[in-house]
Each structure stands twice: as C-alpha cells, then as structure tokens.
Structure 1
C-alpha cells in the first residue's frame, strides 16, 4: 500500500520517498494553447511506476504546471489519480498566486483523491526582495488549509519560477504556524548549493525534515551530505527531479549506487546526467528546458510553444558523446520509455536494442 499522510508526518526522514519524478505533462493539440493528453498522461505514469520510481510530483514547474489554469490543474490531478500506479506515491504542487479560495478547492481535490502530500512554493505575486516574514505570511494560509485536510506538506524553493527563493529561516517560521507540524520535506531547486541545500540541512529547526535536492547537478553532493545531518545517520537528502522524467533508469542506477555508498559510481553516472542537463540549458544560471526531452519522448510539444530540430539535435549530440556505453543505454532506454517515441529507432541504436 502507498504511504499515508499520517505515516509521513510521523516520520518524515524514515518514510518520505527517496526519489520523486517531477512529472511531465503529455500534451496534444495546436497552438496557441495545447491541452493535456489524458490517455498519454496515464500511460506515462504507469510506465514510470513499472520502472520502480517511488513517487511522482503532479503539476511540477518543469512540466509547465505554472502555466496551467486552476481548472486545468484540477483536471491533471484527477487524470493522474486514474492511472494504475499501484504503490507509486502521487504528490500535488500548488501555487499561492492562485489565491486561497482556489487553493482550498485544489486541496479538496487532492484530499478526495487521497494524494498524501501537497507542495507549495513562494508565489509569483510577491516582490523579488520580499522578506522571509512576508514569504511566511503568504504561505501560512495554504499550510493551515492543507493540514485541516490532514495532508502532509512539502515546501518548495524554485526561484526560476517564483522569482524569489524560500529560505531556511522562512521554512523554520512556517513550522510554528498553524498546521506547521504537517510539514515533512523541503524541495530545493537553486543553483548555489552552499546558500540553499546546505543551509536547509544545517538549520537546527529543520532537523526532522527530508531535504529534497531539485537542482540535479548537486545530487551526488546532497546524497553524501545527507547522513551527516541526521542524529541517527539516516539519509536526510532525497531527490525530486524533472530530469528523472527523461532519465529514470539512470537515476535509479545512481540511487542504487548511493545506497551501496559507491560514491565513485555516483559521481561517474552523474557526469552523464549533467551533460544531458546542460544540453537543454540555454543559460547556466537557469534550469534546463526539459520540455525538449518531453517532445523527444513522444509526449508532445510544450503547452504554449514548440521544440525545434536544433534543440533536439543538441540533446542527441550530448547523448551520443557520453563516454560510458552503459550510461548511454540507460538514458536512451529512459527517453524511449513510451516505446513509440518519434525517435524510437534512433534511440534503439543507442541502447543497442537489448532492452537493458
């Protein structure tokens, strides 16, 4: 059985899933606005479950969740819940800028569908220089509303989307707000490890929370640091990754190596995911545009845009030049997860058509 909210709240470090796929949003239709492809969405989630992925985040920013309307988000939550994902945990991401009434409606949907965790990030309606206190005040009503519905709560720092980060001090303040005892994790997607992930791990008030690495090139460091910041030596660091949507077999391999404490293999395998990340990154200060890989997987073009041949070729060039054959195989297999990618034959050559 999937974990319940109560189990996560009781023991966040012990129970929170080690890896969560920040799920793509399969799309169909034409510009100016494409629609969610509900059949492909369910199939994609079921394929992720078959790989052994422990959890998926629905309405993630990587999947352009921040561009969907509230009604579209509700439809996405409902569609994902209809997938046969067995024990794979589903989580939902909310946006404070939608307002408390719409967020209460979405929280009702998540509770009805038995999503155990609701994530929330700072709102895009806050000024870029908003204080920690202002961020806390803006998020507190959603935290209280989620707790009223007995949901576990995740906090999320992703300044690429929200325009400002969630800082460790603000997270600590939220623990003392109504419903703060339901907070179980903080997801950190920032370029500077020292000023983001490291501070969340070090902050004494956050010691019972899982700290979830979201900027993929920092993954191996977070996994090595995680046990050092738990009194019992447990793994405090997890991962929520959009890149895992397109490289799920590689990420499961990395996590397996981390479990064995084979840090040389973790580092070597991450060099390959970093190369793929960079191939979709137009500016090193900003997160990769993973919609390019979504298109390569046969999951459609972006909600309001289109992927060019040049963007696709840049990803293939990085993939074809990975130094280790096994990494190429795992990532090519991941990109062809649906089995009917428009690049199925080309990916088949890279994976050797072995299915391994």
Structure 2
C-alpha cells in the first residue's frame, strides 16, 4: 500500500502527526497489509522537504508493524547528497527496499539515456548499502514516464542487479504495464501495478509473462490506504483464481477512485479519503464538504452490500474519524 501521511496543524503548511502515523501503520499491519511504501504520492510525499521526509521515515520505523515491511521512496531532484543522507537513514532504520522515480528536474522530452543517467548514481548508492531497489513510473508527479528501455539500461549500470521491481502508475495500460511485462530483458522483475483501475487486469496477466506461470504482477495501491479490507478480499480472490469476483470487487473500488478523480487522465485525489478517515487535511490544502459528499454518494450507490461494508470498514479503520458514526451505519 502507498501510505497516507496523517497531518495536524493549520495552513499554510501542516505537519506530520506522528502519533496518528504510528496508530495508522499498526492498524494496517493488523489488517494484513504485507508492505507499506512511505513517502509516496498518496501521502503527498512529493511535496515534503527532505527534512520532512526524514522525519516521516524515522517515525514510521517506530511502528510495531509485525510482518509488514516498510519501503521508502526517494526523489532524484533532491540531489545526491540529500539522497545519500536519506539512504543512510533508511539503512539505519532497517528499510529493506527503496524506490526511485524519474526526477522532476529532467527536461520534458528527456531520452531514455538521460533518464537512466540521472538515476544511475542513486542505484549505485542504494546497492552499496545492500538495499533492494524498485523503480517507479508516475508521470502525474514527475512529468515524465519511466520506459521499459530506460530500465533495461539501468539493469546494466553499477548496482543494477539490485533492481527487483518496477511500479507503474500510468493511465494507459497498453503503453506502460503491458510493455514492462512483455519486455524479454525485464523477465526477472516484478511489475507492480499502481493505477488502481488496471489492478485486476495486471494480476490476471502476471502469470502469463512468467516462464513457470508464477505471479509476476504485484500491486502497490494508493487506494489500499483507504480500502484495505476490500484489497485483502481482492488478493484472496486472486489467490483462488476467482476472476469474476476480482472484477466485481475491483469495480466497487474503482467507483470510489472515480469519486475522487476530477480529471479521468489524472490520478484520484486520495487526500479526500485521508480526511474522511480522520487522518487530517492535506499538507497545503483543505478538503471541502462537496468533495466528501461525492465519496459518500459513490459508497451509498455501490451495487453490492458486501463491497460497501468492506469499504466503509476500511474508511473507518481509525475508529474515531469525523465520519465514524456515518461509516458505522454502512457496516
């Protein structure tokens, strides 16, 4: 799951609520989440300063997360010195995996070679610390998608053998996830689907692109932060190859996704669900009553009662948010 960052304080800039962060992570772990990605876009990590990211990484590491692994996401545009400092912190805090996306400082039409050259020093630095490495395509944030060809170049760089996965959060499945799965040079990598409406397709395609028929697709869902019980249910249905159930359950999750999406070509603003859960307003903005009601209308209109129950339970994970009573009625 791509982790929310609970916030407190007021505008113009809120701060990380460390107490709520620990409680949130521990409840996710208890619910059965296998791993959490810290500093992802869901939690507005891309807006945080380097010092704020360091505080978030440090705080999350204190959670009693049991079997749930913690992973960190770093940003090339912060520069090599800042990234070295954060890599040392992740290592000291026993994060086993680090993700990198293309930097926002790259030109709009940067070549595959330019992208790989900008990431290569970070790959080498992470590998020197013994970290497993994931790469991340999220052009909604970076402005530049990561291509399969860029990843092939990085596999041949110093430390490239530490790359184990690519997370793909792009609107067009055929030009992103499908290409990563089909590329013969990337056959040893897990391809992690991040654009939620494509999850069921990626999970169905995953075994088709492995020589032994194993599941090559993973998911790192921002929606799992607000729909944990629904996604645990989806993953259970995948394990039993109940594809009709996977599709129906995903359709309900997609309805909540669309309710927070102002433009179908841009990722949903999951900060609205973060607020509904009682985890605070966004770092630099405020969620409106109209935005909240749009989510509740989608929840009320779901065709299947079981989906509505699981999603309402997930949104009420903290048990004390501003909409606790309203969500409890739906369960």
CA distance in 2, matches of 1:195, 1:67: 27
Matched, 1:96 2:96: no
Partner of 1:139: 119
The match for 2:55 among 75, 80, 86 is 75
- What is the Cα-based RMSD across aligned positions, in Å? 0.4
The match for 1:84 among 56, 64, 71 is 64
CA distance in 2, matches of 1:128, 1:289: 24
CA distance in 2, matches of 1:261, 1:97: 42
CA distance in 2, matches of 1:235, 1:242: 21
Partner of 2:170: 190
Partner of 2:216: 236
SS in 2 for 1:84: coil
Matched, 1:49 2:14: no
Q: CA deviation at 1:127?
A: 1.3
CA distance in 1, matches of 2:328, 2:177: 37
Q: How does 1:1-356 map to 2 (within 5 A)?
A: 21-351=1-331
Regions of 4+ moved over 2 Å: none
SS in 1 for 2:322: coil
CA distance in 1, matches of 2:117, 2:316: 44
1:212-251 Cα distance to aligned partner (Å, 9 max, x none): 0000000010000000000110000000011000000000
CA distance in 2, matches of 1:242, 1:269: 16
1:52-102 Cα distance to aligned partner (Å, 9 max, x none): 100000001111000100011001000000000011000000000000000
Q: CA deviation at 1:172?
A: 0.8
CA distance in 2, matches of 1:297, 1:107: 31
CA distance in 2, matches of 1:311, 1:217: 20
CA distance in 1, matches of 2:22, 2:137: 28
SS in 2 for 1:153: strand
Q: CA deviation at 1:271?
A: 0.6
- With structure 1 as the length reference, what TM-score do the two structures score? 0.93
SS in 2 for 1:118: strand
Q: How many pairs align?
A: 331
Q: CA deviation at 1:128?
A: 1.5
| Contiguous gaps of at least 5 residues in structure 1 | 1-20, 352-356
CA distance in 1, matches of 2:128, 2:81: 14
1:8-27 Cα distance to aligned partner (Å, 9 max, x none): xxxxxxxxxxxxx1000000
Partner of 1:18: none
- With structure 2 as the length reference, what TM-score do the two structures score? 1.00
1:279-331 Cα distance to aligned partner (Å, 9 max, x none): 00000000000000000000000000000000000000000000000000000
CA distance in 1, matches of 2:161, 2:34: 24
1:13-46 Cα distance to aligned partner (Å, 9 max, x none): xxxxxxxx10000000000000000000000000
